[in-house]
Structure 1
Amino acid sequence: MTLNTSDGASSFADLGLRPELLRALSDLGYEEPTPIQCEAIPPLLEGRDLLGQAATGTGKTAAFALPVLQRMPQTTDGEPVALVLVPTRELAIQVSEAFHRYGRNMGTRVLPIYGGAPIGRQLQALKRGIDVVVATPGRALDHISRETLRLGGVQTVVLDEADEMLDMGFADDIEAIFQATPDDRQTVLFSATVPPRIAGIARRHLHDPVRIEIGREAAARGEPPLVRQSAYVVARAHKPAALGRLLDVEAPAAAIVFCRTREEVDRLSETLNGRGYRAEGLHGGMDQEQRDRVMGRLRSGTAELLVATDVAARGLDIEQLSHVVNYDVPSAPESYVHRIGRVGRAGREGVALTLAEPREHRMLKAIERVTGQRIGVERLPTVADLRARRLELTRAALEESVLQDDLEPFRVVVESLTDEFEIMEVALAAVKLAHESGGAVADEEEIPEVVLRTGADRQGRREVAGGRERRGGMPARGMTRLFFGLGRAAGVRPQDLVGAIAGESRMSGRDIGTIEIADRFSLVEVPEDAADEVIRALRRSTIKGRKPTVRRERDRPSRSPR
């Protein structure tokens, strides 16, 4: 897959790459360099140090691998001339495979070194002679201490996803590895973000570096972005149901659901499997054999969902991945950047969904400021949306069957039924059976809508900002909840409730707290000392042309929807 560039090289040949590399790139179907390749390859070919800020999926592996291969000496003494440090086993394998693909016409010897693999094979390969080593810092340092990895002849050191390595606690290992390499080496550092610690490494170990910054390719005017980013505000108690609803509507080919803790990974994996999804958990408490088994199931299609912590998912590259879901808003914008970087790669479209609790809305704004990209806050799909989506999937499945399947063996069934029934009735019954085999939605309940509002709601604009979270089913201190017997089914919107309260009582819109709108009722937080006044005032008013039932929430019948 190639990305068009507005200036610079229009082909890999323009970059001055050797014929063996150009032939390999042509065989792989690469025609034009990506922006980061245009920016990085020329100075790297000149031997310059480089600090590159680039998101996952921008083509940075080829940006450093091609210059390393281009500058490879004709003959070596068996010791590596290039060392690439990466944070995880999975990324070590991916980068090593990329070197093999690009350098296959040159006979380049590449070895991935990582924990969890038999060290004997690595020792044998190092003894035979290696040109490029791709390693995790801990295992590289282990080999250095054994004197089985000698770096005295290294010409280039690459740190890929450097910020991830620091987050994983490899800072001291990286410093020790640098001490084992020549002072006149070329040093290349790539990172999705450049926090102060990364800048510190660059100051200590890079000499007069070229600095480049490449984001994801922006969509052309009028075209949708490669990664659609959306957020949904939902109370914690309803998050499992909300996640299931989104998965049903989105129907991802494969998805990663990110959680904060191991316990949450285990709990959510169990919940999703109980709801009929094929989910696998992945976290730091699992050994390498368990990790490999989980990844094998996902890549083979046996599992469709991976529920993981950030640490466990680092370095993963799943080709069929279409969706990333943040079950919680990441605590740092950098984590969000890394998470969504796993979709929308190589020109493929992807989706990033975030479930935000009411208290997390400010974190969404912080992420928007850092990334420079808008995260649209959307309404959770309703039961009606779910029914419509499942009908759409049923229609698509039937259409595919008509076009591709051998249906002749079933003709006798249709012909025998049409002797007694109309063909349309037979077709309707068949569609009904096919549709119901995908799961019924009759027992689905509406998920209460949570709206955090500002004074702007009085002018009819709805946005997520500045509200209070309902914790453990209790309203905020000094507040009480009022039950309104009208909800989404009556067309009630947040601004309707705010307008009615502010218009009929002495309260202003700023005094109103969290608003939740369900299908048949709404809940509104108001100051405790003003609750009775609001109830009396609204009994004389109408909302959407109807006189609502208004009372304190504790009087709500227990059989009302949750």
Structure 2
Amino acid sequence: MQTTQNKFEQFKLNRQLLNAVEEAGYTEPTPIQEQAIPLALAGQDILGIAQTGTGKTAAYTLPLLMRIKYAQGEHPRALILAPTRELAMQISEAITQLSKYTDIRTVVVFGGVGPKAQTDAIRKGVDIIVATPGRFMDLYFKEEIVVKHLNVMILDEADKMMDMGFMPQIRKLLEIIPTKRQNMLFSATFSEKVEKLSYEFLEFPTRIEVTPQATTAEMVSQSIYEVPNFRTKINLLTHLLRDEEAFNRVLVFTRSREVAGLVHQNLLERVVKEHELKVIHANKGQNTRTNSMEAFREGSVRVMVATDVVARGIDITEVSHVINFDVPLIYEDYVHRIGRTGRANHVGEAITFMTVADEYHIRKIENMIRMEIPRRELPEEVEVVATPHNERQDLLREIDNQKRKEDPTFLGAFHEKKKVFHKPSRPVGKGGQNRRNSSGRSKRR
């Protein structure tokens, strides 16, 4: 009888790791593990293009643990960088699980909480540090971390790190750590920024791409509702969430924490019980975010409203729906958002709400994922509210900006209004004054 243990024995891992792999319930290596583990064990630099949910954490963790083998000395020998606290914590948990039969010491460091507990753990001795770039550099400059023994460095979710502006910290880090080391870089997409970083960071890497770039999960059904405004979005979301049986574990993504708060408030008032609904974003404390995600993972929370802070790196199976209340402006984030559902061979559904100003971004996303996302008719039960004047002006202004981005010579409707307003020969009546106020012109200082 073929067992999980036998399938992973092909990598010649030691017995402690094989036992941990078997207990973790890994049935067979995923494609990224199949390709990356032998190369990493051989000491090669690796460039891995793989989405979350493909098993890439174990693909670099198992070879790393095999290389380190056991606790040694006081200072770290390996560093894993991640863009968010949530992903750093998830990686640390995976390492703890796979190293349970070894004495290897792992410490995770991230911002948003006081550094004392993290520095105390480092001072006791550490083999692997999992960190967000900012907190790692803070502790290094405070001389809490010694880097001269680092011989493995791994960047996970490199594309997100670029989007979040971590390049300066990473460049500083590359200046202070030993040049003789093994490097691994993993990214869901291979953007221009990531390509540039790979040239700086990797030495003759082997590239592994287990899925075509920016592909969306095959188990995810995608669709779009065209909605005119915020209030109609709320009405549609409320209507969908009334079906508790179908929408049993839902992630609702918004573009900003302000919108996340408004959505949370409206859902509480209209459709979702308080204990079934949580909201998380960058302003929430780390303990609140961790507890909320744990409750969502366990199923006691049915609806989670979130910004893109949780779009990557959180492994929660059986998410029934991802709802894009707002279309993401970083197009790769669309892939990561909808990748939260359809995991571990479960079918999932991704629904996106699109305003007229979002059509531009949706076209870009469709080009990136190489497919047209099906449109749906709004359900008859959903009340379509008239768009308030200020919101309509904001949408039109955004469309003008999009056209100007594509064609720098485009002047736009608002430009024309300003020209008319400034003509001294034409007095401005009441209607013109109203237009002036609503177009968002700045007040005199």
Q: TM-score, normalised by structure 2?
A: 0.78
**Mapping 1:215-234, distance limit 5 Å:** 215=211, 225-234=218-227
**Mapping 1:220-369, distance limit 5 Å:** 225-236=218-229, 237-249=231-243, 251-277=246-272, 278-299=276-297, 301-311=299-309, 313-369=311-367
CA distance in 1, matches of 2:317, 2:109: 23
Deviation at 1:314, TM superposition (A): 4.8
3-state SS, counterpart of residue 120 of structure 2: helix
CA distance in 2, matches of 1:358, 1:244: 21
1:514-557 Cα distance to aligned partner (Å, 9 max, x none)? xxxxxxxxxxxxxxxxxxxxxxxxxxxxxxxxxxxxxxxxxxxx
1:71-127 Cα distance to aligned partner (Å, 9 max, x none)? 115562222221101112211111111111111122221111112344233222222
8 Å CA contact 2:79–2:154 kept in 1: the answer is: yes
CA distance in 2, matches of 1:300, 1:225: 25
CA distance in 1, matches of 2:181, 2:77: 10
- 2:145 aligned residue (149, 167, 172): 149
3-state SS, counterpart of residue 177 of structure 2: coil
8 Å CA contact 1:282–1:313 kept in 2: the answer is: no
CA distance in 2, matches of 1:51, 1:72: 21
**Mapping 1:185-224, distance limit 5 Å:** 185-215=181-211
CA distance in 2, matches of 1:263, 1:446: 24
- 1:65 aligned residue (61, 64, 75): 61
3-state SS, counterpart of residue 230 of structure 1: strand
CA distance in 1, matches of 2:176, 2:280: 34
8 Å CA contact 2:81–2:156 kept in 1: the answer is: yes
Deviation at 1:363, TM superposition (A): 2.8
1:192-235 Cα distance to aligned partner (Å, 9 max, x none)? 11222111111111100111112389x9xxxx931111111122
Distance 1:97 1:297, change over 3 A: closer
RMSD, aligned α-carbons: 3.0
Distance 1:13 1:140, change over 3 A: same
Distance 1:289 1:107, change over 3 A: closer
1:457-512 Cα distance to aligned partner (Å, 9 max, x none)? xxxxxxxxxxxxx9749xx9xxxxxxxxxxxxxxxxxxxxxxxxxxxxxxxxxxxx
Q: TM-score, normalised by structure 1?
A: 0.63
Which residue does the alignment assign to 2:408?
none
**Mapping 1:174-193, distance limit 5 Å:** 174-193=170-189
CA distance in 2, matches of 1:101, 1:471: 50
CA distance in 2, matches of 1:131, 1:55: 27
Deviation at 1:285, TM superposition (A): 2.7
- Structure 2's unaligned 5+ residue stretches are 397-445
8 Å CA contact 1:55–1:216 kept in 2: the answer is: no
Letter in 2 for 1:28: A
3-state SS, counterpart of residue 330 of structure 1: coil
3-state SS, counterpart of residue 345 of structure 1: coil
CA distance in 1, matches of 2:331, 2:344: 23
Aligned length: 383
8 Å CA contact 1:82–1:132 kept in 2: the answer is: yes
3-state SS, counterpart of residue 71 of structure 1: helix
Distance 1:291 1:317, change over 3 A: same
CA distance in 2, matches of 1:261, 1:154: 37
Deviation at 1:55, TM superposition (A): 0.8
- Structure 1's unaligned 5+ residue stretches are 5-9, 384-444, 449-469, 477-562
Distance 1:59 1:300, change over 3 A: closer
3-state SS, counterpart of residue 68 of structure 2: coil
**Percentage of pairs with the same residue:** 39
8 Å CA contact 1:85–1:160 kept in 2: the answer is: yes
Letter in 1 for 2:321: H
CA distance in 1, matches of 2:344, 2:146: 36
Deviation at 1:312, TM superposition (A): 5.7
Letter in 1 for 2:49: Q
8 Å CA contact 1:246–1:380 kept in 2: the answer is: no
8 Å CA contact 2:226–2:354 kept in 1: the answer is: yes
Deviates more, 1:349-358 or 1:308-317: 308-317
